[in-house]
Amino acid sequence: MIALLTLAAAVAAASPTGYPEVRTDPRFELFGVVQLLAGAEKRYSGFHRYDIPYTRAAETWFKPFARHPCIEVYQRLAATGLDYIVFNDFIYNLGDPPALLPRRHFEPGNLPDAYGSVEIEEFRLLLADFARVSRFEAYFKETASLREAMVSEVAQQAVALDLKSRLERYTGMPVGLRYTLIVSPFVEPSLSSTWVRDEAGGRRLTSLYGPEELPGRVGFRLPTRLGALWTEILMGQLDLAARP
């Protein structure tokens, strides 16, 4: 038994780690559920609804909370023209649910005149309440295996793509940025939002990435995003190089 465990640990340690790293994020799953209940249209919200077990599980779990005031406030803000890029930035700058405490000061660049920081803060408080009363944390745990399948699919593609090594060979420069993909079935099948943050270990890029309709299934095609991935990394690299 000990020998088998040692062998398993050795294999795991030898397994290649893809670049970018891949994970899911409870903040964006929570926001996706609100969009789902609000009937958000992908043309204006970037929200996608696929008829897959994960979406059906969300609809079953959260249907009793469809009349929570958080849903109405989201609809009102979206109706004023508050686009999904701003919503994504807002969600990214919050802590994990259910508290959703602000991690950074939010200064949206294109809030409609009719709504400002007061309404955005109202939405945050209602979203936190929605997370509590709907037991979002319990849902997130119960559906972990469905999300793990998505993460595994993209992570395997990242390993096969060998993005970092290919980019270093192409440019002749080392890639010093860490990169994370947050995957969610509720977001559009592109790098819909990307953030750059300086951390203790260096600079990190983080992008949202969603699946698409493939023959016979819903899945991911990371190699088709190679150009977008390279663009984000190179822009981050150039910004670092330009610093005094």
pLDDT in tens, 179-223: 999 999 999 998 889 998 888 878 899 999 999 999 999 999 999
Q: For strand 178-183 and strand 202-209, is the pairing parallel, antiparallel, or unpaired?
A: parallel
Q: Poorest-confidence range of 48-52, 112-116, 231-235?
A: 112-116
Task: Give the other-Cβ count within 10 Å of 11's Cβ.
Answer: 9
If asked whether residues 76 and 150 sit together in one domain, one would say no
Q: Is the residue at 7 inside a domain?
A: no
Q: Is the residue at 93 inside a domain?
A: yes
- Count how many domains the chain has: 2
Question: What average pLDDT does the chain have?
Answer: 84
Confidence of residue 51 (pLDDT cuts 50, 70, 90): very high
Question: Model pTM?
Answer: 0.86
If asked whether residues 179 and 72 sit together in one domain, one would say no
If asked whether residues 38 and 97 sit together in one domain, one would say yes
Q: What is the pLDDT of residues 64-90, one digit of tens each?
A: 999 999 999 999 888 887 788 888 989
Q: Is 148 left (phi over 0), alpha (psi -120 to 50) or beta?
A: alpha
If asked whether residues 130 and 156 sit together in one domain, one would say no
Burial class of residue 89, CB neighbours in 10 A (0-12, 13-18, 19+)? middle
pLDDT of residue 86: 85
Q: Is the residue at 204 inside a domain?
A: yes
pLDDT of residue 149: 95
Confidence of residue 45 (pLDDT cuts 50, 70, 90): confident
Q: Which of 89, 113, 141 is the endpoint of a domain?
A: 141
Q: Where would I find the beta strands (DSSP E) of 19-170?
A: 21-23
Q: Is the residue at 216 inside a domain?
A: yes
pLDDT of residue 238: 64
If asked whether residues 111 and 30 sit together in one domain, one would say yes
Q: Is 100 left (phi over 0), alpha (psi -120 to 50) or beta?
A: left
If asked whether residues 134 and 170 sit together in one domain, one would say no
Which of 173, 138, 172, 151 has its CA nearest to residue 220?
A: 151
pLDDT of residue 2: 40
Task: Give the other-Cβ count within 10 Å of 200's Cβ.
Answer: 4
Q: Is the residue at 198 inside a domain?
A: yes
Q: Which of 115, 141, 167 is the endpoint of a domain?
A: 141
pLDDT at 136 over 90: yes
If asked whether residues 120 and 39 sit together in one domain, one would say yes
Q: Poorest-confidence range of 107-116, 130-139, 146-155, 212-221?
A: 107-116
If asked whether residues 134 and 195 sit together in one domain, one would say no
Q: Which of 101, 119, 141 is the endpoint of a domain?
A: 141
Q: Is the residue at 54 inside a domain?
A: yes
If asked whether residues 177 and 125 sit together in one domain, one would say no
Q: Is the residue at 207 inside a domain?
A: yes
Structural Rg of the chain based on CA atoms: 19
The rounded distance, in Å, linking the Cα atoms of 74 and 14 is: 46
pLDDT of residue 104: 78
Per the model's pLDDT, the better-predicted residue between 6 and 108 turns out to be 108
Q: Poorest-confidence range of 10-24, 135-149, 154-168?
A: 10-24
pLDDT of residue 237: 67
pLDDT, mean of residues 22-39: 96
pLDDT at 10 over 60: no
Q: Where would I find the beta strands (DSSP E) of the chain?
A: 21-23, 178-183, 191-199, 202-209, 212-214, 217-219
Longest dimension (CA), the chain: 66
If asked whether residues 186 and 134 sit together in one domain, one would say no
The rounded distance, in Å, linking the Cα atoms of 51 and 48 is: 10
pLDDT at 11 over 70: no
If asked whether residues 182 and 137 sit together in one domain, one would say no
The rounded distance, in Å, linking the Cα atoms of 47 and 33 is: 10
Q: Is the residue at 2 inside a domain?
A: no
The rounded distance, in Å, linking the Cα atoms of 155 and 220 is: 10
If asked whether residues 35 and 127 sit together in one domain, one would say yes
Write out the residue range of the structural domain in which residue 181 sits.
15-22+145-241
